[in-house]
Structure 1
Amino acid sequence: MERTHIVFPPKLRLYNLTILVLFCISASPSCATLSFNFYAISCPPAEFMVRNSVRSATSDDPSIPGKLLRLLFHDCFVEGCDASVLLQGNGTERTDPANTSLGGFSVIDSAKRVLEVFCPGTVSCADILALAARDAVEISWKQAGGPAIQIPTGRRDGLVSAASNVRPNIIDTSFTLDEMIKFFSSKGLSLNDLVILSGAHTIGSAHCSAFSDRFQQDSKGNLTLIDSSLDSTYAAELTKQCPAGASSSITVNNDPATAFQFDNQYYRNLLAHKGLFQSDSVLLKDERTKKQVEILANDQDGFFESWAQSFLKLTSVGVKADDEGEIRRSCSVTNG
C-alpha cells in the first residue's frame, strides 16, 4: 500500500503531527505506519463513503452517534483499534455481557459493503470504525455537532477476539479515579486524556443497571441517596425513568440536557452534580481533575480542541500493521 505525504487541516496541522509522533514513539510503535491521506490513491472516496453511511443512519436514528462512539472505545481498549469487537462467533468479544448492549454494527457493515464494491480488499474495518466514530461526533441529529477533525488511517484488522479479554480492559462505571488513571495509563493515555475522553458521555445512553446503585426507592416512592454526590432532584427523575421492576432493556440519556448534541454540556452537568455515573462524578470530587472540569464547562472551543488531540491518541492505541492483521472482506468474520 502506498504512503502519501501527510496533509493536515488548518489550525490542527502542526499540533496533530506533534501529538501523533510523540504518542507513536511512546506507546504504539505500529502507529508509525498510519498516515493522513492513506487511501488517497487506493480508494479516494473512502472517507466520504463512511461519512455518508453515518449521516444516513443518523438521520433515521439520532442514537447512532453515541452508539458508534461507544463501539470505538470498546474496540480500542481491547486488543487495540483493530475491529476485534466486530467479530462474531462463540467466545468473541461481542459475547461478553459488557458488550452485548453495544450498537452501531449495521452502520459499519453498510459502509464496508459499499467500499467492497468500489475498492475491494482495500479499506480495513478498523479504519471504517475509527472514521465512523470521528464522523459521529461531527454529525449530530438536527443540531450543531462537534468538532471536524482529521485522523490518520492505515489500521489493519485484528485476528484475535476473545471474551476473556474484555472485562480486564473495560472501565466499570463504579471505578474510582485512581482505578481509571491506572487503566488509561496502561493504554498510553494521560490524566488529561481521561477527563477529555470522558466527555464522550455528552451523547449516548446507558441501561439503568449502570447507575441504579447510586440511589434507592422504597415502595412508597421515598428516595434515598446512596451516593451523596448526586443531585437529589436528578436522582428522582432517574427513578421515574428506571422504576423498580422495570425492564432491563430501558435506557436513559447520558446527558439530560442536550442528549443528541456533542458539546461541553457534560462538564456543566458535572458542576450541577448531574453526572450519570459514579465514574463521572469523581471527576468533580477529586482535586486532580476538578479544575479541568470547571474550565471545560465554560469553554466549548477549548473542549473541542482538546477532544481532537485526545481522540487522535485514542484511535492510535494498539493499532495493527503489516503482518499483524489483515483487511477483512466482511467485518464480522476473519478472512480465514
Structure 2
Amino acid sequence: METTKSMFLSLLVSFIFISCCYVSSVKAALSFDFYAASCPNAELMIRNTVSRASSNDPSVPGKLLRLVFHDCFVEGCDASLMLQGNNTEQSDPANRSVGGFSVIESAKRLLEIFCPGTVSCADIVALAARDAVEIAGGPRIQIPTGRRDGMVSIASNVRPNIIDTSFTMDEMVKLFSNKGLSLLDLVILSGAHTIGSAHCNTFRSRFQQDSNGTLKLVDQTIDTNYADELMRQCPVTAQPSVTVNNDPETSMLFDNQYYRNLLAHKVLFPSDSVLLSNINTKKMVEDFANDQQLFYVNWGAAFVKLTSVGVKTDEEGEIRRSCTATNV
C-alpha cells in the first residue's frame, strides 16, 4: 500500500511540474493581488455574501460550485452564463436547473456601491465558488483574479462543451483535454459531487420503466440497496422539481466521502461510475478515498486550473455594471 501510494505521489509531483507551464501561462495576466489597490475588500465582501446566503439556504454552496463549472466550460470563465435573454446559455435545458445566480448578483450590487466598475462578474463567480467550498467544510485556497466579463452567450455553445451525466470515460477525457485539464483534474473535480443535488431525470437512464409502470434497475454498476433508495425518492410519478443529494452520506459537507461512495457504488451518475473502469483513475479514487488531505491539496491545484480556463484579461471583454447584461 505504501509503495503504491508513494508511486502515485511521485506521479503527482511530475504532473504538477508538467502542468505548471499551462497554468502559469494563463496566470500571467491574472494575479493574487489584482484588487489590492482598486477594491481591497472585494474578496471579503464576496465571502460575506456567500456566507449569509448559505446560512439562509444550505444548498447554496453546491449551486455555486455547479455554476462555476457550467460557466467555465462554455466560453471560458467569463460569466457568460450570467447573461440573460433569448438564446443565451441560460436558456439551454442543461442550464435551466443551475442555481446561485442571485448570490452572484447580490455580491455584484454590493461591489458596485463601494467599487463601481471595478470587479468583474467572472471573478465574482470564481471567488464565490471558492468560498462555497470552504463554507461547506472544504479547504481554504487562494485563486488569482483579473478576469474580465465576456460579451457572448449562445445556447448552442452549451451542449458541445459540458459533461453529460451519461458520458463515457473517453468522452470526458476528450472534453477535459480540450479545456487544458488532465485525467487527474477529471478525478479531482468530479469530487465536487460531494455536495449539491441533482434532479431525478439526470440519472433516470440507470432505470427502466416496466409494463406495470414501475422502475426497474438496469445499470449493474450501482449498489442495489442504493438503487432501491433512489427509486423510492424518484418514482415514476415524481415531479420534475424533485432532487436527490449527490452524496447520500454527508450531503452538506465538502469532504472525500464522494470517493468512498464511488468505491461502494453509491453515486448518482454513470459518468461518476466510469471512473472505476480505468485502472489509473480507479487508483486515484482509492487514494483520495483513503486520504482526505491528499484530496484537499489536489483540489486547490485543480480548482485554480478550472477557474483559469479561457479567461479574458486586459483588453478582452469588459467589466459589466450588471451581471445579467452587457454594458450598453
TM class by shorter chain equals over 0.9
Shift of 1:37: 1.1
Shift of 1:223: 5.7
1:181-216 CA distances to partner (integer Å, 9 max, x unpaired)?
Answer: 000000000000000000000001111000011023
The answer to whether the aligner puts 1:286 opposite 2:285 as a matched pair is no
Aligned residue number for residue 250 of structure 2:
258
Could you tell me whether the CA contact under 8 Å between 1:122 and 1:327 is conserved in 2? yes
Task: Give runs of aligned pairs for residues 7-86 of structure 1, distance below 5 A.
Answer: 22-24=21-23, 29=25, 31-86=27-82
User: Quick one: distance in 1 between partners of 2:18 and 2:145?
Assistant: 15
Percent identical among aligned pairs is: 70
User: In structure 1, what residue type is equivalent to 2:280?
Assistant: R
User: Quick one: distance in 2 between partners of 1:230 and 1:241?
Assistant: 16
Residues 20 and 153 (structure 1), Cα distance of their counterparts in 2 relative to 1, 3 Å cut: farther
Shift of 1:32: 1.6
TM (norm. structure 1) is 0.90
Secondary structure at 1:98's aligned position in 2?
helix
Aligned residue number for residue 12 of structure 1:
none
Supply the RMSD in Å over aligned alpha carbons.
1.8
Could you tell me whether the CA contact under 8 Å between 1:173 and 1:210 is conserved in 2? yes
User: In structure 2, what residue type is equivalent to 1:184?
Assistant: F
Shift of 1:218: 4.2
User: Quick one: distance in 2 between partners of 1:253 and 1:311?
Assistant: 22
The answer to whether the aligner puts 1:247 opposite 2:239 as a matched pair is yes
Task: Give runs of aligned pairs for residues 191-210 of structure 1, distance below 5 A.
Answer: 191-210=183-202
Q: Which runs of 4+ in 1 moved over 4 A?
A: 17-21, 217-223
Paired residues, number: 314
Aligned residue number for residue 134 of structure 2:
138
Is there any run of 5+ residues in structure 2 with no aligned partner, and where? Answer: 1-13
Aligned residue number for residue 332 of structure 1:
324
Is there any run of 5+ residues in structure 1 with no aligned partner, and where? Answer: 1-14
User: Quick one: distance in 2 between partners of 1:227 and 1:18?
Assistant: 39
User: Quick one: distance in 1 between partners of 2:26 and 2:303?
Assistant: 17
TM (norm. structure 2) is 0.92
User: Quick one: distance in 2 between partners of 1:266 and 1:217?
Assistant: 28
Aligned residue number for residue 156 of structure 1:
148
Residues 211 and 40 (structure 1), Cα distance of their counterparts in 2 relative to 1, 3 Å cut: same
Secondary structure at 1:81's aligned position in 2?
coil
Task: Give runs of aligned pairs for residues 165-184 of structure 1, distance below 5 A.
Answer: 165-184=157-176
User: In structure 1, what residue type is equivalent to 2:77?
Assistant: C
Could you tell me whether the CA contact under 8 Å between 2:188 and 2:298 is conserved in 1? yes
